[in-house]
Structure 1
Protein backbone atom coordinates (compact mmCIF):
# COMPACT_ATOMS: atom_id res chain seq x y z
CA UNK A 1 0.00 0.00 0.00
CA UNK A 2 1.28 3.49 -0.88
CA UNK A 3 1.16 6.05 1.90
CA UNK A 4 -0.91 9.22 1.41
CA UNK A 5 2.26 11.35 1.48
CA UNK A 6 3.86 9.36 -1.32
CA UNK A 7 0.61 9.37 -3.25
CA UNK A 8 0.42 13.17 -2.99
CA UNK A 9 4.03 13.49 -4.09
CA UNK A 10 3.39 11.27 -7.10
CA UNK A 11 0.37 13.39 -7.98
CA UNK A 12 2.43 16.58 -7.82
CA UNK A 13 5.13 15.05 -10.01
CA UNK A 14 2.54 14.04 -12.58
CA UNK A 15 1.14 17.58 -12.60
CA UNK A 16 4.63 18.96 -13.11
CA UNK A 17 5.43 16.59 -15.95
CA UNK A 18 5.75 17.91 -19.53
CA UNK A 19 2.96 15.53 -20.58
CA UNK A 20 0.56 16.91 -17.99
CA UNK A 21 1.39 20.54 -18.83
CA UNK A 22 0.96 19.89 -22.55
CA UNK A 23 -2.39 18.20 -21.97
CA UNK A 24 -3.61 21.01 -19.72
CA UNK A 25 -2.44 23.61 -22.23
CA UNK A 26 -4.39 21.84 -24.98
CA UNK A 27 -7.64 21.69 -23.01
CA UNK A 28 -7.23 25.29 -21.82
CA UNK A 29 -7.08 26.35 -25.47
CA UNK A 30 -10.44 24.79 -26.39
CA UNK A 31 -13.36 27.13 -27.02
CA UNK A 32 -16.78 25.69 -26.17
CA UNK A 33 -19.78 27.00 -28.12
CA UNK A 34 -23.36 25.86 -27.78
CA UNK A 35 -26.64 26.04 -29.70
CA UNK A 36 -27.41 24.28 -32.98
CA UNK A 37 -26.97 27.20 -35.38
CA UNK A 38 -23.83 28.66 -33.70
CA UNK A 39 -22.20 25.22 -33.66
CA UNK A 40 -23.04 24.59 -37.31
CA UNK A 41 -21.75 28.03 -38.34
CA UNK A 42 -18.53 27.37 -36.44
CA UNK A 43 -18.02 23.97 -38.06
CA UNK A 44 -18.50 25.48 -41.52
CA UNK A 45 -15.57 27.83 -40.89
CA UNK A 46 -12.36 26.34 -42.36
CA UNK A 47 -10.33 28.02 -39.60
CA UNK A 48 -12.08 25.90 -36.96
CA UNK A 49 -11.26 22.32 -36.04
CA UNK A 50 -13.72 20.32 -33.97
CA UNK A 51 -12.20 18.36 -31.11
CA UNK A 52 -15.32 16.98 -29.45
CA UNK A 53 -19.06 17.20 -30.10
CA UNK A 54 -21.49 16.93 -27.18
CA UNK A 55 -25.13 15.96 -27.82
CA UNK A 56 -28.12 15.45 -25.55
CA UNK A 57 -29.47 11.92 -25.57
CA UNK A 58 -32.98 13.40 -25.67
CA UNK A 59 -32.45 15.20 -29.00
CA UNK A 60 -35.11 14.42 -31.57
CA UNK A 61 -34.09 13.87 -35.22
CA UNK A 62 -33.45 17.11 -37.12
CA UNK A 63 -31.73 18.04 -40.35
CA UNK A 64 -29.39 20.52 -38.68
CA UNK A 65 -28.27 17.85 -36.21
CA UNK A 66 -27.61 15.46 -39.09
CA UNK A 67 -25.38 18.08 -40.74
CA UNK A 68 -23.50 18.78 -37.51
CA UNK A 69 -22.89 15.07 -36.90
CA UNK A 70 -21.80 14.55 -40.52
CA UNK A 71 -19.19 17.31 -40.24
CA UNK A 72 -17.99 15.90 -36.92
CA UNK A 73 -17.52 12.47 -38.48
CA UNK A 74 -15.75 13.94 -41.50
CA UNK A 75 -13.28 15.68 -39.18
CA UNK A 76 -12.80 12.52 -37.14
CA UNK A 77 -13.95 14.27 -33.97
CA UNK A 78 -15.17 12.45 -30.91
CA UNK A 79 -18.97 12.47 -30.40
CA UNK A 80 -20.33 12.09 -26.90
CA UNK A 81 -23.94 11.74 -25.75
CA UNK A 82 -25.09 13.06 -22.36
CA UNK A 83 -28.22 13.45 -20.30
CA UNK A 84 -29.53 17.02 -20.16
CA UNK A 85 -27.99 17.77 -16.76
CA UNK A 86 -24.53 16.65 -17.85
CA UNK A 87 -24.76 18.62 -21.09
CA UNK A 88 -25.77 21.77 -19.20
CA UNK A 89 -22.58 21.48 -17.13
CA UNK A 90 -20.60 21.55 -20.39
CA UNK A 91 -22.50 24.35 -22.13
CA UNK A 92 -23.11 26.31 -18.90
CA UNK A 93 -26.37 27.48 -20.47
CA UNK A 94 -29.07 24.83 -20.38
CA UNK A 95 -31.76 27.26 -21.55
CA UNK A 96 -30.03 28.02 -24.86
CA UNK A 97 -27.78 25.08 -25.73
CA UNK A 98 -30.57 23.25 -27.66
CA UNK A 99 -28.94 19.94 -26.81
CA UNK A 100 -25.66 20.72 -28.60
CA UNK A 101 -22.20 21.92 -27.52
CA UNK A 102 -18.84 21.74 -29.28
CA UNK A 103 -15.23 21.97 -28.11
CA UNK A 104 -13.34 23.83 -30.83
CA UNK A 105 -9.65 24.24 -31.58
CA UNK A 106 -9.13 27.87 -32.61
CA UNK A 107 -5.66 29.07 -33.57
CA UNK A 108 -5.91 32.35 -31.65
CA UNK A 109 -7.58 31.06 -28.49
CA UNK A 110 -5.27 30.58 -25.50
CA UNK A 111 -4.71 31.55 -21.88
CA UNK A 112 -2.99 34.82 -21.05
CA UNK A 113 -0.18 32.83 -19.41
CA UNK A 114 0.50 31.03 -22.69
CA UNK A 115 0.65 34.39 -24.46
CA UNK A 116 3.14 35.78 -21.95
CA UNK A 117 5.32 32.69 -22.24
CA UNK A 118 5.80 33.36 -25.97
CA UNK A 119 4.75 36.97 -26.69
CA UNK A 120 5.04 38.51 -30.15
CA UNK A 121 8.24 40.36 -30.91
CA UNK A 122 8.18 44.08 -30.36
CA UNK A 123 5.61 46.31 -28.65
CA UNK A 124 2.49 44.15 -28.73
CA UNK A 125 -0.96 45.65 -28.07
CA UNK A 126 -3.74 44.09 -26.00
CA UNK A 127 -7.37 45.03 -25.39
CA UNK A 128 -8.59 44.14 -21.87
CA UNK A 129 -12.36 44.00 -21.30
CA UNK A 130 -13.60 45.00 -17.86
CA UNK A 131 -17.23 43.87 -17.40
CA UNK A 132 -18.39 44.36 -21.00
CA UNK A 133 -21.90 42.95 -20.67
CA UNK A 134 -23.54 43.60 -24.05
CA UNK A 135 -23.04 40.63 -26.42
CA UNK A 136 -23.20 42.85 -29.50
CA UNK A 137 -20.51 45.14 -28.11
CA UNK A 138 -18.33 42.14 -27.36
CA UNK A 139 -18.79 40.78 -30.87
CA UNK A 140 -17.99 44.13 -32.49
CA UNK A 141 -14.91 44.57 -30.29
CA UNK A 142 -13.66 41.15 -31.38
CA UNK A 143 -14.30 42.03 -35.02
CA UNK A 144 -12.39 45.32 -34.81
CA UNK A 145 -9.50 43.75 -32.91
CA UNK A 146 -9.24 40.95 -35.46
CA UNK A 147 -9.27 43.41 -38.37
CA UNK A 148 -6.93 45.93 -36.76
CA UNK A 149 -3.54 45.91 -35.11
CA UNK A 150 -4.34 44.09 -31.88
CA UNK A 151 -2.35 41.09 -30.65
CA UNK A 152 -4.76 39.85 -28.01
CA UNK A 153 -8.12 40.39 -26.30
CA UNK A 154 -8.09 39.72 -22.56
CA UNK A 155 -11.49 38.16 -21.89
CA UNK A 156 -12.36 37.34 -18.24
CA UNK A 157 -14.32 34.15 -17.61
CA UNK A 158 -16.83 35.93 -15.35
CA UNK A 159 -18.41 39.35 -15.02
CA UNK A 160 -19.07 40.04 -18.70
CA UNK A 161 -20.97 38.77 -21.70
CA UNK A 162 -20.36 35.12 -22.48
CA UNK A 163 -19.64 33.85 -25.97
CA UNK A 164 -23.02 32.96 -27.46
CA UNK A 165 -24.89 33.19 -30.75
CA UNK A 166 -25.27 36.99 -30.46
CA UNK A 167 -21.52 37.45 -29.98
CA UNK A 168 -20.73 35.15 -32.89
CA UNK A 169 -23.17 37.02 -35.13
CA UNK A 170 -21.88 40.47 -34.11
CA UNK A 171 -18.29 39.36 -34.70
CA UNK A 172 -19.25 38.32 -38.24
CA UNK A 173 -17.44 35.02 -37.71
CA UNK A 174 -14.14 36.63 -36.72
CA UNK A 175 -14.46 35.14 -33.23
CA UNK A 176 -12.93 31.91 -34.52
CA UNK A 177 -9.87 33.75 -35.91
CA UNK A 178 -9.43 36.36 -33.19
CA UNK A 179 -6.59 36.29 -30.61
CA UNK A 180 -8.69 35.63 -27.50
CA UNK A 181 -6.73 35.44 -24.23
CA UNK A 182 -8.60 33.67 -21.44
CA UNK A 183 -8.19 34.85 -17.87
CA UNK A 184 -10.06 33.77 -14.72
CA UNK A 185 -9.76 37.28 -13.25
CA UNK A 186 -8.89 40.40 -15.18
CA UNK A 187 -6.94 42.06 -12.36
CA UNK A 188 -4.70 39.02 -11.97
CA UNK A 189 -3.92 39.10 -15.69
CA UNK A 190 -3.24 42.85 -15.70
CA UNK A 191 -0.83 42.42 -12.80
CA UNK A 192 0.99 39.74 -14.79
CA UNK A 193 1.25 41.98 -17.86
CA UNK A 194 2.64 44.82 -15.77
CA UNK A 195 5.19 42.44 -14.24
CA UNK A 196 6.17 41.48 -17.80
CA UNK A 197 6.95 45.14 -18.58
CA UNK A 198 3.74 46.29 -20.27
CA UNK A 199 2.01 49.64 -19.79
CA UNK A 200 -1.57 49.13 -18.57
CA UNK A 201 -3.77 52.01 -19.70
CA UNK A 202 -7.34 52.68 -18.60
CA UNK A 203 -9.57 54.54 -21.04
CA UNK A 204 -11.22 57.37 -19.09
CA UNK A 205 -12.95 60.60 -20.13
CA UNK A 206 -11.17 62.35 -17.22
CA UNK A 207 -7.62 61.36 -18.19
CA UNK A 208 -5.11 64.18 -18.78
CA UNK A 209 -3.45 62.47 -21.78
CA UNK A 210 -5.19 61.73 -25.08
CA UNK A 211 -4.98 58.50 -27.02
CA UNK A 212 -3.56 60.37 -30.01
CA UNK A 213 -0.72 61.87 -27.96
CA UNK A 214 0.27 58.55 -26.40
CA UNK A 215 3.34 56.99 -28.02
CA UNK A 216 3.97 53.64 -26.34
CA UNK A 217 7.53 52.46 -26.68
CA UNK A 218 6.82 49.07 -25.13
CA UNK A 219 3.98 46.53 -24.92
CA UNK A 220 0.66 48.09 -23.93
CA UNK A 221 -2.65 46.85 -22.54
CA UNK A 222 -5.67 49.11 -23.14
CA UNK A 223 -8.43 48.56 -20.58
CA UNK A 224 -12.01 49.16 -21.74
CA UNK A 225 -14.62 49.53 -19.01
CA UNK A 226 -18.26 48.68 -18.53
CA UNK A 227 -20.77 50.35 -20.87
CA UNK A 228 -22.30 52.54 -18.14
CA UNK A 229 -19.77 52.59 -15.27
CA UNK A 230 -16.46 52.57 -17.11
CA UNK A 231 -13.36 50.94 -15.63
CA UNK A 232 -13.95 49.68 -12.09
CA UNK A 233 -11.96 51.10 -9.17
CA UNK A 234 -10.35 47.71 -8.54
CA UNK A 235 -9.21 47.43 -12.14
CA UNK A 236 -8.09 51.06 -12.30
CA UNK A 237 -5.67 50.28 -9.46
CA UNK A 238 -3.86 47.88 -11.80
CA UNK A 239 -3.42 50.62 -14.42
CA UNK A 240 -0.33 52.79 -14.46
CA UNK A 241 -1.69 55.23 -17.04
CA UNK A 242 -5.00 56.79 -18.13
CA UNK A 243 -5.95 57.91 -21.62
CA UNK A 244 -8.94 59.73 -23.08
CA UNK A 245 -10.42 60.29 -26.50
CA UNK A 246 -11.08 64.04 -27.00
CA UNK A 247 -14.75 64.87 -27.65
CA UNK A 248 -16.43 67.76 -29.45
CA UNK A 249 -19.90 69.32 -29.24
CA UNK A 250 -20.47 68.30 -25.65
CA UNK A 251 -20.35 64.55 -26.33
CA UNK A 252 -19.29 62.81 -23.12
CA UNK A 253 -18.31 59.36 -24.33
CA UNK A 254 -18.29 56.86 -27.18
CA UNK A 255 -19.71 53.37 -27.40
CA UNK A 256 -17.11 50.93 -26.05
CA UNK A 257 -16.97 49.04 -29.36
CA UNK A 258 -16.23 52.30 -31.21
CA UNK A 259 -13.45 53.05 -28.72
CA UNK A 260 -12.00 49.60 -29.35
CA UNK A 261 -12.03 50.24 -33.10
CA UNK A 262 -10.17 53.55 -32.67
CA UNK A 263 -7.48 51.78 -30.64
CA UNK A 264 -7.27 48.87 -33.08
CA UNK A 265 -6.58 51.19 -36.00
CA UNK A 266 -4.44 53.71 -34.15
CA UNK A 267 -1.33 54.34 -36.33
CA UNK A 268 1.82 52.73 -34.98
CA UNK A 269 4.66 55.26 -34.87
Structure 2
Protein backbone atom coordinates (compact mmCIF):
# COMPACT_ATOMS: atom_id res chain seq x y z
CA UNK A 1 0.00 0.00 0.00
CA UNK A 2 1.47 3.34 -1.10
CA UNK A 3 1.59 6.37 1.17
CA UNK A 4 -0.66 9.27 0.27
CA UNK A 5 1.09 12.04 -1.72
CA UNK A 6 0.48 14.57 1.07
CA UNK A 7 2.13 12.27 3.63
CA UNK A 8 5.08 11.59 1.32
CA UNK A 9 5.59 15.31 0.70
CA UNK A 10 5.40 16.11 4.41
CA UNK A 11 7.84 13.33 5.23
CA UNK A 12 10.29 14.54 2.57
CA UNK A 13 10.04 18.07 3.98
CA UNK A 14 10.89 17.00 7.53
CA UNK A 15 13.73 14.81 6.26
CA UNK A 16 15.36 18.13 5.34
CA UNK A 17 14.84 19.69 8.77
CA UNK A 18 17.74 19.75 11.21
CA UNK A 19 16.88 20.64 14.80
CA UNK A 20 19.65 22.46 16.67
CA UNK A 21 19.55 23.19 20.38
CA UNK A 22 21.28 25.32 22.97
CA UNK A 23 21.02 29.08 23.34
CA UNK A 24 24.25 30.09 21.60
CA UNK A 25 23.85 27.79 18.54
CA UNK A 26 20.20 28.84 18.19
CA UNK A 27 21.01 32.55 18.41
CA UNK A 28 23.83 32.20 15.86
CA UNK A 29 21.49 30.41 13.46
CA UNK A 30 18.77 33.04 13.91
CA UNK A 31 21.31 35.72 13.00
CA UNK A 32 22.42 33.91 9.83
CA UNK A 33 20.40 35.41 6.96
CA UNK A 34 21.35 32.62 4.57
CA UNK A 35 19.60 29.96 6.65
CA UNK A 36 15.98 29.00 6.03
CA UNK A 37 14.22 28.52 9.38
CA UNK A 38 11.03 26.58 10.06
CA UNK A 39 10.09 26.99 13.75
CA UNK A 40 11.49 27.93 17.15
CA UNK A 41 10.68 25.66 20.11
CA UNK A 42 10.77 27.16 23.61
CA UNK A 43 10.25 25.47 26.98
CA UNK A 44 7.64 27.33 29.01
CA UNK A 45 9.89 27.07 32.08
CA UNK A 46 12.46 29.47 30.57
CA UNK A 47 13.02 32.92 32.02
CA UNK A 48 12.71 35.26 29.06
CA UNK A 49 15.63 37.55 29.81
CA UNK A 50 19.28 37.76 28.76
CA UNK A 51 20.07 35.50 25.80
CA UNK A 52 16.50 34.16 25.74
CA UNK A 53 15.20 37.68 25.21
CA UNK A 54 17.65 38.12 22.31
CA UNK A 55 16.51 34.84 20.79
CA UNK A 56 12.86 35.84 20.95
CA UNK A 57 13.61 39.28 19.46
CA UNK A 58 15.45 37.64 16.55
CA UNK A 59 12.55 35.22 16.04
CA UNK A 60 10.13 38.16 15.91
CA UNK A 61 12.36 40.02 13.47
CA UNK A 62 12.43 36.99 11.19
CA UNK A 63 8.67 36.44 11.60
CA UNK A 64 9.35 32.92 12.77
CA UNK A 65 6.73 30.65 14.30
CA UNK A 66 7.41 30.22 18.03
CA UNK A 67 6.01 27.08 19.63
CA UNK A 68 5.73 26.72 23.42
CA UNK A 69 6.23 23.35 25.10
CA UNK A 70 6.62 21.77 28.50
CA UNK A 71 10.19 20.92 29.47
CA UNK A 72 9.54 17.24 28.78
CA UNK A 73 8.10 17.97 25.33
CA UNK A 74 11.06 20.19 24.47
CA UNK A 75 13.48 17.42 25.46
CA UNK A 76 11.72 15.07 23.04
CA UNK A 77 12.11 17.62 20.25
CA UNK A 78 15.78 18.36 20.92
CA UNK A 79 16.58 14.72 21.79
CA UNK A 80 19.04 16.09 24.31
CA UNK A 81 17.22 17.29 27.39
CA UNK A 82 20.42 17.65 29.42
CA UNK A 83 22.03 20.16 27.06
CA UNK A 84 19.25 21.88 25.11
CA UNK A 85 18.87 24.75 27.65
CA UNK A 86 15.15 24.81 26.96
CA UNK A 87 15.44 25.96 23.35
CA UNK A 88 15.53 24.31 19.91
CA UNK A 89 15.35 25.57 16.34
CA UNK A 90 14.24 23.80 13.16
CA UNK A 91 16.48 24.68 10.21
CA UNK A 92 15.64 23.67 6.66
CA UNK A 93 18.64 22.04 4.96
CA UNK A 94 17.71 21.82 1.27
CA UNK A 95 20.38 19.27 0.34
CA UNK A 96 19.34 16.71 2.99
CA UNK A 97 17.45 13.66 1.70
CA UNK A 98 16.85 9.99 2.29
CA UNK A 99 19.05 7.68 0.26
CA UNK A 100 16.04 5.99 -1.35
CA UNK A 101 14.82 9.33 -2.76
CA UNK A 102 18.30 10.13 -4.04
CA UNK A 103 18.59 6.78 -5.82
CA UNK A 104 15.17 7.24 -7.44
CA UNK A 105 16.11 10.63 -8.91
CA UNK A 106 17.64 10.81 -12.41
CA UNK A 107 21.44 11.19 -12.52
CA UNK A 108 23.08 12.65 -15.62
CA UNK A 109 26.75 12.54 -14.53
CA UNK A 110 28.77 9.92 -12.63
CA UNK A 111 28.20 10.35 -8.91
CA UNK A 112 30.64 10.22 -6.02
CA UNK A 113 29.28 9.31 -2.59
CA UNK A 114 31.06 9.13 0.75
CA UNK A 115 29.60 6.59 3.21
CA UNK A 116 30.41 6.91 6.90
CA UNK A 117 30.47 3.74 8.97
CA UNK A 118 30.47 4.57 12.69
CA UNK A 119 32.18 7.97 12.85
CA UNK A 120 31.62 8.65 16.54
CA UNK A 121 33.86 11.67 17.12
CA UNK A 122 31.83 14.87 16.47
CA UNK A 123 34.90 16.86 15.42
CA UNK A 124 35.85 14.23 12.86
CA UNK A 125 32.31 14.06 11.53
CA UNK A 126 32.10 17.83 11.19
CA UNK A 127 35.44 18.06 9.39
CA UNK A 128 34.46 15.21 7.05
CA UNK A 129 31.23 17.00 6.17
CA UNK A 130 33.13 20.24 5.51
CA UNK A 131 35.62 18.56 3.18
CA UNK A 132 32.94 16.59 1.36
CA UNK A 133 30.81 19.70 0.85
CA UNK A 134 33.82 21.62 -0.48
CA UNK A 135 35.14 18.84 -2.69
CA UNK A 136 33.80 16.72 -5.49
CA UNK A 137 31.39 14.64 -3.40
CA UNK A 138 27.73 14.43 -4.42
CA UNK A 139 26.37 12.91 -1.22
CA UNK A 140 27.38 11.88 2.30
CA UNK A 141 25.66 8.63 3.25
CA UNK A 142 24.97 8.65 6.98
CA UNK A 143 23.10 6.12 9.10
CA UNK A 144 20.91 7.75 11.75
CA UNK A 145 22.42 5.47 14.38
CA UNK A 146 26.05 4.58 14.98
CA UNK A 147 27.52 7.96 14.05
CA UNK A 148 27.89 11.11 16.14
CA UNK A 149 24.67 13.13 16.43
CA UNK A 150 24.39 16.20 14.20
CA UNK A 151 24.59 18.56 17.16
CA UNK A 152 26.51 21.74 18.09
CA UNK A 153 29.96 20.09 18.06
CA UNK A 154 29.47 18.73 14.54
CA UNK A 155 28.07 22.05 13.34
CA UNK A 156 31.04 23.93 14.78
CA UNK A 157 33.60 21.51 13.31
CA UNK A 158 31.90 21.76 9.91
CA UNK A 159 32.18 25.57 10.08
CA UNK A 160 28.45 25.74 9.36
CA UNK A 161 28.67 23.80 6.10
CA UNK A 162 26.44 21.08 7.56
CA UNK A 163 23.40 23.23 6.76
CA UNK A 164 24.08 23.05 3.02
CA UNK A 165 25.90 19.70 2.78
CA UNK A 166 24.32 16.89 0.71
CA UNK A 167 23.63 14.48 3.57
CA UNK A 168 21.80 11.29 2.60
CA UNK A 169 20.20 9.54 5.56
CA UNK A 170 19.59 5.82 5.93
CA UNK A 171 18.38 3.58 8.73
CA UNK A 172 20.96 0.84 8.13
CA UNK A 173 24.24 1.39 6.32
CA UNK A 174 24.58 -2.20 5.00
CA UNK A 175 21.03 -2.03 3.59
CA UNK A 176 21.80 1.34 1.98
CA UNK A 177 25.03 -0.03 0.48
CA UNK A 178 23.06 -2.89 -1.05
CA UNK A 179 20.60 -0.39 -2.53
CA UNK A 180 23.46 1.69 -3.95
CA UNK A 181 25.05 -1.39 -5.52
CA UNK A 182 21.70 -2.33 -7.05
CA UNK A 183 21.54 1.21 -8.42
CA UNK A 184 24.88 0.82 -10.21
CA UNK A 185 27.39 2.11 -7.67
CA UNK A 186 30.80 0.53 -7.15
CA UNK A 187 31.60 0.37 -3.42
CA UNK A 188 35.21 1.06 -2.46
CA UNK A 189 36.26 0.46 1.15
CA UNK A 190 39.24 2.40 2.50
CA UNK A 191 41.50 -0.08 4.27
CA UNK A 192 45.10 0.19 5.43
CA UNK A 193 45.94 -3.29 4.14
CA UNK A 194 44.58 -2.75 0.61
CA UNK A 195 47.11 -3.13 -2.20
CA UNK A 196 45.46 -0.67 -4.61
CA UNK A 197 46.15 3.02 -4.06
CA UNK A 198 43.35 5.56 -3.82
CA UNK A 199 45.42 7.84 -6.05
CA UNK A 200 45.69 5.26 -8.84
CA UNK A 201 42.05 4.24 -8.84
CA UNK A 202 39.91 5.63 -11.67
CA UNK A 203 36.17 5.02 -11.28
CA UNK A 204 34.35 4.69 -14.58
CA UNK A 205 30.83 5.19 -13.25
CA UNK A 206 28.99 5.91 -10.02
CA UNK A 207 31.32 5.27 -7.09
CA UNK A 208 30.87 5.13 -3.32
CA UNK A 209 33.83 5.48 -0.94
CA UNK A 210 33.35 3.78 2.43
CA UNK A 211 35.09 5.17 5.52
CA UNK A 212 35.13 3.30 8.82
CA UNK A 213 35.27 3.99 12.52
CA UNK A 214 38.23 5.92 13.97
CA UNK A 215 39.46 2.87 15.90
CA UNK A 216 38.09 -0.26 14.27
CA UNK A 217 37.79 0.80 10.64
CA UNK A 218 35.01 -0.41 8.35
CA UNK A 219 32.63 -2.85 10.00
CA UNK A 220 32.51 -6.46 8.81
CA UNK A 221 28.90 -6.09 7.63
CA UNK A 222 29.76 -3.10 5.44
CA UNK A 223 33.14 -4.42 4.30
CA UNK A 224 31.51 -7.60 3.00
CA UNK A 225 29.61 -5.45 0.48
CA UNK A 226 32.68 -3.68 -0.92
CA UNK A 227 33.62 -4.35 -4.53
CA UNK A 228 37.21 -3.26 -4.02
CA UNK A 229 39.52 -1.95 -1.30
CA UNK A 230 41.74 1.11 -1.53
CA UNK A 231 44.53 2.42 0.65
CA UNK A 232 46.59 5.58 1.04
CA UNK A 233 50.32 4.88 0.63
CA UNK A 234 52.29 5.64 3.81
CA UNK A 235 55.93 6.48 4.46
CA UNK A 236 58.23 6.72 7.47
CA UNK A 237 56.45 4.02 9.43
CA UNK A 238 53.11 5.86 9.63
CA UNK A 239 50.31 3.30 9.77
CA UNK A 240 47.21 5.39 9.12
CA UNK A 241 45.72 8.87 8.83
CA UNK A 242 42.93 10.53 10.76
CA UNK A 243 39.59 9.63 9.16
CA UNK A 244 38.79 13.30 8.47
CA UNK A 245 42.11 13.71 6.63
CA UNK A 246 41.33 10.61 4.60
CA UNK A 247 37.94 12.09 3.67
CA UNK A 248 39.67 15.26 2.47
CA UNK A 249 41.99 13.26 0.24
CA UNK A 250 39.03 11.39 -1.26
CA UNK A 251 37.15 14.65 -1.87
CA UNK A 252 40.06 16.28 -3.68
CA UNK A 253 42.27 13.47 -5.01
CA UNK A 254 42.90 13.02 -8.71
CA UNK A 255 40.42 10.15 -8.99
CA UNK A 256 37.57 12.66 -8.80
CA UNK A 257 36.02 13.18 -12.19
CA UNK A 258 39.22 12.67 -14.18
CA UNK A 259 40.06 10.11 -16.78
CA UNK A 260 43.23 8.00 -16.67
CA UNK A 261 46.30 9.75 -18.03
TM-score exceeds 0.5 = yes
Q: Does 1:222 align with 2:222?
A: no
Gaps of 5+ in 2: none
- 1:3 aligned residue: none
Q: Secondary structure at the match of 2:201?
A: coil
Structure 2-normalised TM-score? 0.93
Equivalent residue number for residue 100 of structure 1:
87
**Aligned mates of 2:145, 2:45 — CA distance in 1:** 30
Aligned equivalent of 1:90, options 77, 86, 96: 77
How much does 1:38 deviate?
1.4
Q: 1:135 Cα deviation (Å)? A: 0.6
Tell me which residue corresponds to 2:57. 70
Tell me the number of residue pairs that the alignment of Structure 1 and Structure 2 aligns.
Answer: 256
Unaligned runs of 5+ in 1: 1-11
Q: Secondary structure at the match of 1:31?
A: strand
The equivalent residue for 1:32 is 19
Conservation of the 8 A alpha-carbon contact between 1:47 and 1:106: no
What residue in structure 2 maps to residue 127 of structure 1?
A: 114
Contact 1:47 1:177 in 2 (8 A): no
What corresponds to 2:151 in structure 1? 164
The secondary structure found in structure 2 opposite 1:47 is coil
Does the 8 Å CA contact 1:109/1:179 hold for their aligned counterparts? yes
Contact 1:107 1:177 in 2 (8 A): yes
Instruction: Determine if the alignment matches structure 1 residue 139 to structure 2 residue 139.
Output: no
For residues 99-150 of structure 1, give each alpha carbon's deviation from its aligned partner in whole angstroms, at most 9, with x where no partner exists: 1111111121121122212254211111111110111001111111111111
Instruction: Measure how far apart 1:186 and its partner are.
Output: 1.2
Pair 1:173-2:160 in alignment: yes
- Tell me the residue number matched to 2:234: 247
CA shift at 1:248, angstroms?
0.6
**SS state at 1:67 partner:** helix
In the alignment, the residues of structure 1 paired with residue 226 and residue 26 of structure 2 have an alpha-carbon distance, to the nearest angstrom, of 37
Match of 1:110 in 2: 97
3-state SS in 2 of match to 1:122: coil
Could you say if the C-alpha distance between residues 115 and 256 of structure 1 is closer, same or farther in structure 2, counting changes exceeding 3 Å? same
Mapped to 1, the partners of 2:30 and 2:41 lie a distance apart of: 13
**Is 1:188 aligned to residue 175 of structure 2?**
yes
- Per-residue Cα deviation, 1:69-109 (whole angstroms, up to 9, x for no partner): 23333333321111111111111111111111111111211
In the alignment, is residue 259 of structure 1 matched against residue 254 of structure 2? no
Range with greater deviation from structure 2 (250-259 or 25-34)? 25-34
Q: CA RMSD in A?
A: 1.5
Is 1:43 matched up with 2:9? no
Q: Deviations over 1:199-245 (max 9, x none)?
A: 11110011121101110011111111000100010111121111111
TM (normalized to structure 1)? Answer: 0.90
SS of match in other structure, 1:16: coil
